[in-house]
Every structure is written in structure tokens, then in C-alpha cells.
Amino acid sequence: MTSRDDRARRPPRIGEILFVAAVSGVLGLCSGVGESVVRALQHSFYFHTTRSYVSFLAVPAFWYTVAGAVVGALVALGVLVFVRRRRVAPTAMAVGAVFLLISYWGSIFRGRFFGSLGNALGHLAMFATAVIVFVVARHLVSSAIALAPGGRRRTLRWGASVVLVFVLVAGVGGWAALSVPAEPGRDLPVMSLRADGALNVLLITIDTLRADRLGCYGYPLERSPLGDASGTSPVVDGLASAGARFQSAIVPMIATDPSHASIMTSLYPAEHGVLRNAVQLGREHVTLAEIFRSAGYRTGAAVSVWHLDGFVSGLSQGFGDYFDRGFHDRYEHHSAWRRLPRGVRDDMFALTCGAYTTCERAIQWLGDGDERPFFLWVHLFDPHRSYVCHESDAAPFDRVDVERMAELEGEELAELAARGSRFYDSEIRYADAAIGVLLDGVRQGGDLGETVVVVVSDHGEHMDEPRLERAQWFGHSDVFEETCRVPLIIWRPGLVKVGVVSEQVSVMDIGPTLLELAGLVGPAEPGEIGRSMVELIDGGPWTEIPLVIDANPHSGTDIEGRALRANGWKFVTRPGSGAELYDLKTDPDELLNLVHTDSSRATLLSAELARIVHVWSGEEPPEADAETREKLRALGYVH
């Protein structure tokens, strides 16, 4: 018989520790899958492919498995070394398993116990599940410790039961998530109006790109970052020279996600509900990709910044393949992911990816052998701050540089501002070169001649305009022309008439235009937002309508401006400050406020702005008196 002292001196058994670690790892695996399934069901529209759902399971399952194994090994080692009683291991491991369960479940039901009925039921379910896990874990470890053959059989039976539950949970969750249709099934009036077959569509959005920094919009070619006298944008300039270039294309909000959602839905942000970055577009809104997909197109997207990822933005609706930067944002709500140091998370999965990486993903998608016409959206983030000088190893121009500007004057300030401007040009040239690689990829696939190409930006960028506050320099906050007027180029030789379009249009008009060019819908009614520009491109009539622009809600400068741009005039209003009125024809830099010298025009534009905003509420706007409507009509603001 072994004495108590002999048992105290007995070294830990490696086999027991490894087995306890393995059991804990299985329990952690089940915990990770359980949380993943809950998250997937909450955001089921994103998981429209088996690959996206399986990839979503991967990271939490991996981290919880590792965490469970490590915790199990440490607890088992502690029990064997310090307690020196082998039979304590089952209870200790069961407690560890319950701890893992509560740690992940608490990330789902974080509110007060009685905060809501759902939250209370969630906590009750957590307690019930914890009891079950405790019993199962203790039985597993007890069976493992038993050396009799019967104990091994019981261990196998319990292990098989756990694996079966694991598969059932993942399978049912996947079925529920994947059962949500990728599009709402919108019926098109006609499938094709073109006799020569359907056209491909390539939509390229370049983040934070000012129109006046492109050669085709007048930027000096000698300002080329490469010193080759070809400017910042030779590839885009080439498209503009053989296509339609819009001189006055306006965005509805100076923010990335709201603007892109408006491009995809032809709705104002107040109508589609995406009022800032990282807000999901609702499933009730039909996207451009959904319409193309329902018409038989294959649809793909490649985006470059975290808040456009499908799980965050909801813009993956209708895309058969949606290539974002990786796992980062999909798992930001998982407790396992949140427990990683922020630096480790950002290093493993960067918040952005470069233009060449994004374009290469798009080219790979194009070469998958699918012969159907395609709708492809490619988003490039590079011109966005922080600006990188791609011609040198200099440190990026970032937020710290902007903050330093508040303390500088004279030559130091001018030198730092010139550095920011130069780096911004370098970013544009880099993105432009990546677009060239993308177009070459389309051309090598033999599809470029049958492809409509659109290049547009979601908003522009302030530089060091003197009328701005220093905190606004090299950012995008206010509704001035450099941020709300963006480049827009539509190219397809033989289909799109070459020339400059001077009439005011909105990026919300892009979707209907592409659908008509592709032969899927006919012309839209004039005088409404989100209408086809095909007739305008062909030199036909165009009814300009007033456009509303909202300031960036993320600016941090307490500017919540809103503007109405109509018939060459801009009316601006901001909470806590007076209204502004600018004549863009004679004062394109918006330096002379005419609100007092032309008060009658300001009053009319203010009334029209109030009417449009009232429409967003879903209520019937109050009818303006006949005299006011006639004045607006006489000035060209309404028709």
C-alpha cells in the first residue's frame, strides 16, 4: 500500500495533464462554436456562402480551443502538484470548463440581468448550461482517470456525444444563417434591352479623392510624384479622355460608409439609415449588386478598409463573393478576440489593405472561369490619411502631423503642409497605378471591350485651405466643394459618348445609369433622385434638382453642417452659427458669404432644404405657397 508521504512525493503524470488539457480543449472548441453560431444568426445576411460561415467559425473555435487546453493543463498541474490528490482533478476541471462557458456567454448577454426579458432568459440559459457543462466535464475527467476498460468505453461514449452536439449546433446554425436569401428577389421589368448581349460592369471607388487633384480635372501634370510630367492620375486621365467626365458630381455625405451605401441604393443616408461609418445597411433596402445578381450576373467586391467589410457595413448584400481585409472585424465582438492585445490584433489583421492587394484579389476573382457577365466593385483606400510617400521611405503624414500644425507658424507650417500635400499626391498616383493593373487584368481576360468602367470617389479631402480651421486641415469634415464634389468618369468606347458633362449630378445616379447601360432597365423619370444619366451623357436634356450634402459625423470638430447645392448656388447651415450662401459660378472657393446681400435667395433655398429634409421623415411635406414655388422655379431650383 502506498503511504500518504509517497503520494505527496509522486511527480505529476504527464499523461493525465495532457488528457485533461485535451478534454478542456474540446470544451473550449464547443464554446467558440456556440458563440460563433449566435453571432452568425444575429447577422445572417452576411453569411450567404458556406465559406464565409465556416471561416467565421474558425477563429473563435481556434482561440477557445487553445484557451481551454491551456487552462485545463494549468489546473490539472496545480491539482497534482499542490493538492496532491488525483481525484480532485475532475471537480477542478469541471469548474474550469464552467469558467470558460461563462466568459464567452457573458460577451453575448452583457446587460443587466433584468434589463430585458431576452437578457434575463439568456442569463438563466447560461446558468442551466453551466450546470450541464459541469456535470459532463466532471464525468469525462472521472472516466479518463479510471483505468478500467469500462471507464474507457464511457469516456468514448461521452466524447462522441460532445462531438455530436458540436456538429449539430454548427450545422443548425449554418443552415439558419445560409437560409437567408442573398437578395430579396426583386423582379426586373426586363432582363436585357441590348441586342448585342449583356455588358460587364466595373465600379471603382477611390476613397477620399478630390476631383481637382486629377489631371483630367485640371491638376498640373508637372506635379507628378514620379517627376515624369504625367501628373497624379495617368490611368484615370486616359479613361476620362475616352469617356464621359462629370464636372459637378456631388456626394450626399462626407463619410465613407454613408456615401457608398447611397451609391449602392440610390438613396440619401437619411433614407437608407447608414448615418456614419460601421453602421449596417438594413436588409429592407435593395442594393445595386442584388439587382445585378437577380438578373443573372456574377457579383464580386474587394474592399480595402475595415468599416466597409461585409459584416460591419452590410454592403455585402447581393455579392456572391465579398473580399474584405480578413477576419479582424468579424470577430471584434467575440470575447476570445477582445482578450487579445490590441496591438496583436492590428498586426495580425490590419485595418486596411493596399490598392495592389485589393486589385489582385479582384483579378483573381475575374479569372475563376465563370463565363457570366460580371458586376465587380473595387474599393481603394490609399488616398486616405495617413498619407504614405511611395517614392521614399519617409514616415507617413498622419494625425500627429495635423496636430502639430496648431503649434506652428510661418515657414515651418508651410513646409509641413506642403509635405502633406505632396504625400497625398503620391497616394493618388499609387492608387492610379493599381487601377492600371486591374484594367490590364480585365483586358487579359478578354473582357475589357465589353465592360463599362466607372471611377468615382465617396468624398474629397480638405488640404490647407485658409478658410478652414487648423483642426480641419488634411481631413474631411465640412461641406465645402473640395469634399462634396468628387470625380466621376464613365468609360466604354462605342457606348458612352466622349466629353465633359457640366450639369450637376449625384453619385446616387450611378446605379440607375449602370443598369440602363447594361440593358437591364429603361430610363428613369426626370426630376427624381437616383435616375439614369444615359440620356445626359448622349447630349440629351437633363433636369437639375437641388442636392443635399451632410457633413462628416466623425469629424470631431463640432461641425454638423448641411448644405443645399442648386443651380450653381450653395446654401449652408450649421447649428450654432449663421447661414451661408455662395455663388459657385463666380466664387468656387466659397470665400464670399452672400447670405445678407442676397437674403431673398437664401430664404428660398433654406425653405427648399427644409422641404427635402421633411420628406426624409416619411411625412407629406407642407406645400409651399404658390409665390414661393414660382420664385424657386424662376431661379431654376425646382421644375
| Cβ neighbours of residue 409 closer than 8 Å, sequence gap 6 or more | none
Residue 106 corresponds to which amino acid? G
More confident residue, 624 or 442: 442
Measured CA to CA, the distance from residue 104 to residue 99 in angstroms comes to 9
pLDDT greater than 60 at residue 186: no
Distances from the Cα of 527 to the Cα of 508, 531, 545, 604, angstroms = 13, 8, 6, 19
pTM, to two decimals: 0.76
How much is the pLDDT for 145? 60
Contact by Cβ (8 Å): 212, 219: yes
pLDDT single digits (tens) 200-253: 999 999 999 999 999 999 999 999 999 898 999 999 999 999 999 999 999 999
> Does the pLDDT of residue 587 top 90, yes or no?
yes
With 0-12 / 13-18 / 19 or more C-beta atoms within 10 angstroms meaning exposed / middle / buried, residue 171 is exposed
Collapsed DSSP state (helix, strand, coil) of residue 200: strand
Alpha-carbon Rg for the chain in angstroms? 30
Q: What's at 527, amino acid-wise?
A: G
Quick one: pLDDT at residue 9?
45
- Of the candidates 501, 504, 492, 512, which has an alpha carbon nearest to the alpha carbon of residue 538? 501
Q: How confident is the model at residue 553 (pLDDT cuts 50, 70, 90)?
A: confident
Q: Extract the C-alpha cell encoding 518.
A: 447594361
- When pLDDT is cut at 50, 70 and 90, the band that residue 151 belongs to is low
**Helix, strand or coil, per DSSP, at residue 498:** coil
Tens-place pLDDT, residues 343-392: 555 544 567 788 998 999 899 999 887 888 999 999 999 999 889 999 88
* pLDDT per position as a tens digit, 593-606: 999 999 999 999 99
Q: Above pLDDT 70, what percent of the chain?
A: 67
CA-closest candidate to residue 528, choices 545, 552, 542, 511: 545
Residue 82 is classified by DSSP as: I
**How many distinct helices (H) and strands (E) make up the chain?**
21, 12
Q: Is 13 helix (H, G, I), strand (E, B) or coil?
A: coil
| 492: CB partners within 8 A, 6+ apart | 199, 243, 451, 452, 453, 517
Give me the domains of the chain, ranges plus CATH numbers: 4-178 (no CATH), 200-447+460-543 (3.40.720.10), 562-634 (3.30.1120.10)
CB 233 within 8 A of CB 216: yes
Name the band, by pLDDT with cuts 50, 70 and 90, for residue 183: very low
**Strand order in 569-573's β-sheet?**
547-550, 562-566, 569-573, 580-583
Q: Give the residue-averaged pLDDT of 173-189.
A: 54
Question: DSSP class of residue 469?
Answer: -
What pLDDT score was predicted for residue 537?
Answer: 93
CA–CA dist 539, 263 (Å, integer): 23
The gap between the terminal CA atoms of the chain, to the nearest Å, is 103
Give residue 616's pLDDT. Answer: 84
CB atoms within 10 A of CB 623: 9
Residue 74 belongs to what H/E stretch? helix 50-78
Q: What is the residue-averaged pLDDT of the chain?
A: 79
Residues in CB range of 525: below 8 A, 6 or more apart: 531
Rounded to 5 degrees, what angle do the CA atoms 478, 481, 487 make? 115
Cα–Cα distance measured from residue 136 to residue 101, given in angstroms and rounded to the nearest whole number:
13
Does 189 have pLDDT greater than 60? no
| Banded pLDDT at 89 (limits 50, 70, 90) | low
- Please write the tens of the pLDDT for every residue from 291-342: 898 888 999 999 998 888 887 788 988 888 888 765 444 445 455 555 555 5
pLDDT, tens digit, for every residue of 99-134?
656 555 555 444 444 556 665 666 666 666 666 766
- Where does 381-493 show beta strands of DSSP type E? 451-457, 485-491
How high is the pLDDT of residue 329?
A: 44
